[in-house]
Structure 1
Amino acid sequence: MSLLPVEETLARLLADAEPLAAERLPVAQAGGRVLAQPVEAYHTQPPFDASAMDGYAIRADDVIITPTQLKVIGESAAGRRFAGPVAAGEAVRIFTGAPVPAGADTVLIQENTERLADGSIRVLQAVAKGRNIRRAGLDFGKGDMLLEPGRILDPAALSLAAAANNAVLHVVRRPKVAIIATGDELVAPGETPGPDQIISSNNLGIAEIIRIHGGEALDLGIVDDRIEHIETAIGAAINRGADILVTSGGASVGDHDLVHAALIRRGMALDFWKIAMRPGKPLMFGRLQGLRVLGLPGNPVSSLVCGHLFLAPLVSALAGRPYRPDIRTARLGADMPANDQRRDHIRAEIHPNDQGELVATPLPLQDSSMLSALARANGLIIREPHAEPARAGELCQVFMLR
């Protein structure tokens, strides 16, 4: 089987990846989700003419000539309005957000007044009619369409939906992504590994990629290298309603790489296996009973790089979220050799120089087992297949990780 180019790999992964069906959520639980239906205003905001300042509700005609004196007849506070009208020569003490009484057409800020011993006020400065009043409907009116489908409910959007009296919102269901880590050599963090074992970590990094891009990670734990146990774990992913199954390790060609065989036995239709990329050649994708199956390499760096490049856009598409890889232009910080037939993603430290240009300096060791190097890198230098040697200072493309 020939190696599949990266662009075609991504195209096949996303060919029919549409946002999942909608679900209803209380507005208090909908933060970060994607709207599946528009959000309508169920009332007018503000629902009345409201004061924008602390001061006095007055008639502007009464303060054309200053100083002048006004009689204070009451108080209007937020949630507790003054019930009567304001007549000529009168004022109502008012606070920010409070309803403006009938008859008043202006709010005079308290700094421009003096309170007198008899409770009246002396107005020190004239004010234009209509000042410091937020008119009813200034923000939105009942029946207005406020948010369109596809909008992520960020803090402002969520607050707007709530302010418009939406108690429940229709949002795209978060894709459920089951994760299976395979290998007799793996133990969970906190356990004591045997002499031939290592700590399982790929599942945690992959789960964080899923979370960041709007999915729900279902960690099914570590499965040993027995094909019947792997099949059982695959069945658990199906039973829990997973939309995607991600496997880590066991998808290559070794005698103990049993994931591929277990999936085929369960009935998976293989789409592709092995891609023209480094790190991450043994990437697998197929379909099983409506479940998308993505087999990631077992090497930690390969697993996470493939997660960033392929799993992130797939989860985003199912979650209804826009996905825009952060690809920028930089200058090489070191010479690069010619590349072979695989697209290379070289871990690099990428920082601006004195001229404000990004400089991408490859890390000295690129072994696909080295998580310390990946954590140190904040981006990947992209080297296309069969790229010619490049010198330091030449332009290159970089995929930013953070």
Structure 2
Amino acid sequence: MALRVGVVGGGQLARMMIAPAVELGIELSVLAEQPDMSAHLAASAVGDYRDTDTVLAFARGVDVVTFDHEHVPQPVLHALVDAGIAVHPGPDALLYAQDKLRMRARLDELGMPQPDWAAVSDVAGLQAFIDDHGGRAVVKTPRGGYDGKGVRVVRAAAEAEDWFAALAEDAHGGQLLVEELVEFRRELSQQVARRPSGEVRAYPVVETVQRDGVCAEVIAPAPHVNDRLVATAAQVGVGIAEGVGVTGMLAVELFETTDDRILVNELAMRPHNSGHWSQDGAVTGQFEQHLRAVLDLPLGDASPRRPWSVMVNILGGPAEGAIEDCFAAVMAAHPDAKIHTYGKTPRPGRKVGHVNVVGDDLDDVAYDAHAAASFFEG
């Protein structure tokens, strides 16, 4: 009898689980928000992931439930667990990916390195933090932010007055997260896979390049690193995975500071943009690894196949026509490039796919990846 995995959410991450599921003989089902979502090829149901009855009905047809995103409400997640359904990652772990204030508090309990932070309820509290941290700070909404949304760099508390006003109108009240503005040299990401029985595999730490709050490029492994940094990043990733009980893939986004510290920025408990390189560059790609992990199967080798991999996101897509119209030209000019598309209509700033190139020389690999992705630019 085939193993059955249900994915809540029909985005590109669910889409990229389809191929490894087919290769492993896993029956993959997707609960998509809309019928035309990226993962429509495996969508067995369309419905609201916030509705308990809808999610329960979907989950009863699979062996384990996992996620394309972290937005499923806690009451829905606990209803699945109460019904005896295997949920990976579970609600107690997902809580720390859903709520940044809870994440910061838990990381403090675990002794993880992170920026100075505070929960603030009003303008006065925020201004006090700003004054104590050199006149600048980063303000975040605790829930719902991604790709630069829900994040502001502020010099005065008045710049977040609208967010405080929104909190005041919320029946449940709430607080904003404020963090010190970190002087960082670059951003890194440490991915870890963990299965319910406890086995853990760490991927190489990678460098991520952000543009306008969106990941544009990933270099794997991160260049110009020493053994101490590599060991620290892996220890942080494994420590968080074990400390909060993550099952499946975990991405720990990191700052490498100008004074040579490693600080935790954010967490994602699912396959992640910073791991797309692994589809073509690692012995076991992150999407296969996630399926193995949530099914509690032995984890695969996370080592790179070649010395270097570069992933470049396709943002926006061509100004005219379909993204597939560019395939022939890209393949002819860059036969080593691997193209991954998301089945999305091109739109400025939208992630519609990515290109991976692997090889022995970083300059050559990076050139080919950027050049191949440029064919898709509008």
What is the TM-score of this pair, normalised by structure 1?
0.28
Higher relative contact order (CA 8 A, sep 6+): 1
What is the TM-score of this pair, normalised by structure 2?
0.29
Structure number having the greater helix percentage:
2
**Which of the two has higher C-alpha Rg?**
1
